[in-house]
Amino acid sequence: MQTPHNLISIRPLYYQDAKWIALYFTYDAGIVKKIKGIQGRRYSQTHRCWYLPCEETPWLQFRTLGIPYVIEKSTGPSGTADCTRSQGDHTGKVSTEGGTQSVISEDGEGRIADNKVKPEEDLMIIWNNQYFQIRPPLSGDDVTLIKSLAGSWWHAKYHKWMVRSSPKNLEALQRHFACWDKEAYEKIYELVSARMDPVIVQLYTTPQYCKSFIVKIQGYKADFQFLKSLPDRQYDQDFKRWILPLNSNIVNRLKQHYEGQGAKVIDRLPKEGQSYLPTPVSFGDRQQRLLTKYGAGHYEIIKEYTDALLRMRYSWNTVSNYTGALFKYLQYLGQVRLEDTTANDANVYLSSIAKKRVSESLIHQAVNAIKFYFDKVKFVSDFQLEKIQRPKKGSYLPTILSIREIDNILRSVDNLKHLAIIYTLYGGGLRLNELLSLKVTDIHWDRNQIFIRSGKGKEDRVVMLSHVLKTLLVKYFDAYQPTYWLFEGINKKFQYSEKSVQNVIKRAAKKTGITRRVTTHTLRHCFATHLLDNGTDVRFIQELLGHKDIKTTLIYTHVTTSRVTAIKSPLDALNLCPER
């Protein structure tokens, strides 16, 4: 209970193995001046009170001052560091005659100090940042109140209640026990609130504001006045964020100001000169590993073969796959030199692997590897390349999902980042590696375009940026704040992994009950087919997909519904009723 103004509350104080007379009162310069005239008086910064020696002379000097006072009962040698209540009090309130008031300790840890309160005599509440610790005795009403608080539990080992530290729980404890005076309560409330809701300042960019950067501030008593003092600032009411010119001086001033206030500054702005790629491994190092893998027996051939592939700037996947296919052919030949073989020998080898349960693509890969050697690496005059026989090319139609199925997949995804990935794959008809290679700067916001760099065949192209995708990307940038790559991995520096994207698509399709095999490329097929269904010219679709040959794009004419549904089945002309 707070002491009335100009009324001194007198309590015994046990300090340094001695008993003292503690004087508590609301600060008053006149009273302080009078107390300073008392013999042996001292001030305790820890207990926030003046105290006198427990002797007759100082006590008589105090009484002659004529200041009104009230003497409170002792609650044991606890001083005034804890929220305590006499054992006989079961009302749940601290009276001016029985209880003592607590203060914040000066140990720098923001906790209520524990000065050896005897738990068998007093109720005690200690705050230690994470919890309020409450020791018995307690009445039934006390226990009911504590159990109702969020995050409360009984610590059997130490025989005390643990209540999660939060402003709401602090308010409930104060209403019920009334154990802190106003000054102490406000100090604890400040510390609890700051710990539960610390000030965090986030800096990031978004293609929506390409010449600006975004500032988001959250936390208890966050300082917004500094932002209001900066020139050319804007405030986005929808996302509760500030938009400032992308200027290094403004960025440095802002960081210095908030770091000086103890706020946590999360800087997600792109750093000039910083690499956002894993440490590159040179093709030379990769080649040496490959040569070691296939042993010394075929070193010269493999070395000459990989040199040609690298010289012609084939991708590393092609280098690795072709080399593996050629090595298997070398193993098949045994001691026979590769230069001494003919096209017939190659066909016999292809027949041997075709008899096994292998895919057509593996046979095609073997053909390509052998033909590359005799065409680009070693010229043999009597080796007739045209006589190497390939498997008959099949005509396979891609898996196509309906618009409704695509809609169900999109609605089944809850994670915002996963949703943005699927929207981008389907909305632009992207390949998986094209999606993962997208940078934040590749989103041309004002032009409604996505710039695809070095797609298949090392060709750049531009696809549309859907209005729906833009709306989603606004939320995505606000939540994830990517720095360089549009879709970052878990370390928030390098690209998202291929496996993770594939798993996202797989889980979404399974969740919607689609039994057909759905991959990232399925969304690309659906993009092209749905455009064709809506009447888009196939030549435009070819450009959007990045196909070199129109024949590749024409495959979607076999799965489009625009022509098939326009033809009436002869079965419909019979006017049969299936119910008969």
Backbone angles phi, psi at 80, to 5 degrees: -135, 30
Backbone angles phi, psi at 304, to 5 degrees: -65, -40
Structure tokens at 417: 């980042």
Q: For this structure, is 524 an active site residue?
A: yes
Q: Is 3 helix (H, G, I), strand (E, B) or coil?
A: coil
Distance CA 363, CA 332 (A): 15
Q: Is 13 helix (H, G, I), strand (E, B) or coil?
A: strand
Q: For this structure, is 556 an active site residue?
A: yes
Strands 69-71 and 8-15: parallel
Q: Which among 341, 354, 329, 322 has a CA at the least distance from the CA of 384?
A: 341
Q: Which residues pair with 225 in a beta bridge?
A: none
Distance CA 404, CA 308 (A): 49
**Cα separations (Å) of 306 from 303, 316, 339, 446?**
5, 10, 17, 45
Distance CA 50, CA 52 (A): 7
Q: What is the H or E stretch that residue 361 is in?
A: helix 360-372
Structure tokens at 400: 């196509």
**CA torsion angle 350 355 359 362 (round to 10):** -20
Q: For this structure, is 456 an active site residue?
A: yes
Catalytic member of 418, 525, 530, 547: 547
Catalytic member of 456, 461, 493, 511: 456
Catalytic member of 294, 484, 496, 556: 556
Backbone angles phi, psi at 127, to 5 degrees: -105, 125
Catalytic member of 11, 160, 524, 525: 524
Q: Which among 201, 66, 58, 191 has a CA at the least distance from the CA of 132?
A: 191
**Number of residues that make up the chain:** 580
Catalytic member of 11, 418, 431, 525: 431
Catalytic member of 268, 364, 493, 521: 521
Distance CA 175, CA 180 (A): 10
Is residue 330 within 8 Å of 341, Cβ to Cβ? no
Q: Which residues pair with 214 in a beta bridge?
A: 204, 243
Distance CA 84, CA 72 (A): 13
Q: Which residues pair with 194 in a beta bridge?
A: none
Q: For this structure, is 467 an active site residue?
A: no
DSSP letter string, 79-145 = TTSSEEEETT--SSS--TTT-B-B---SSSS---------TTTEEEEEE-SSEEEEES---HHHHHH
Structure tokens at 404: 């409704």
Fill in the DSSP letter of residue 548.
Answer: S
Amino acid at 265: V
Q: Which among 27, 34, 33 has a CA at the least distance from the CA of 2?
A: 27
Q: Which among 383, 359, 353, 360 has a CA at the least distance from the CA of 371?
A: 383
Cis peptide preceding 137, ω within 30 of 0 = yes
Distance CA 74, CA 415 (A): 59
Q: What are the residue numbers of the active site?
A: 431, 456, 521, 524, 547, 556
